Amino acid sequence: MKQKIFYCKSWFRAKNKPIDIWPENKAQKKHIAGESYTALIGSDVKPSCFVEVMKNKGWVGVSFLDQELREYLLYNFRLLDDGRLFLSMAVHREFAENGGEGAGILNVSSGTTYIFNEDGNTIVREEQFNPYKLEESQTMVDISGNYEKFPEFGKYDLLIRKER
């Protein structure tokens, strides 16, 4: 991995900061034991993304952050019985300024969620929030690129690829 990695217990989404920064060896012990930890990519205060490794809960999450540390792209991988990961959900969000009182507070203006099944059946949910509108459709997609090997400790390059 070319980028610097920092480790912590988790990322506090409401305050956009890590909870309990850990030394690498503590995170590595958690990885080996199959326990939860978070890897911050690039910085401990302004990461480009973070990887939530929760082998004990059967999933790995990847969240990509913009300059304001908002999650604009999320990938959830489900741990399969054979030890591989399957990209089961992807979410893309767009943000807009909120006018009026509290102006400057940035909110999600729209989002698209993709829920992938291993047979290729995919649900697409497109949401707009002002005014609220939800459209849902189903399609078949090639999911051959949705599988990844469970990462070795410190090797998250395959998981943090944006283009899938």
d(CA 7, CA 19): 10
Average pLDDT, the chain: 92
pLDDT tens track for 83-99:
999 999 999 999 987 54
| Three-class SS state of 57 | helix
More confident residue, 101 or 54: 54
**Nearest-angstrom CA–CA distance, 122 and 119:** 9
Convert the pLDDT of each residue in 99-108 to its tens digit: 444 434 458 8
14-31 tens-digit pLDDT: 899 999 999 999 999 999
> How much is the pTM?
0.90
* pLDDT of the residue at 87: 98
User: Are the beta carbons of 160 and 41 closer than 8 angstroms?
Assistant: yes
- Do residues 75 and 65 make contact, with C-beta atoms less than 8 angstroms apart? no
Residue type, 105: I
Q: Is 54 within 8 Å of 61 (Cβ atoms)?
A: yes
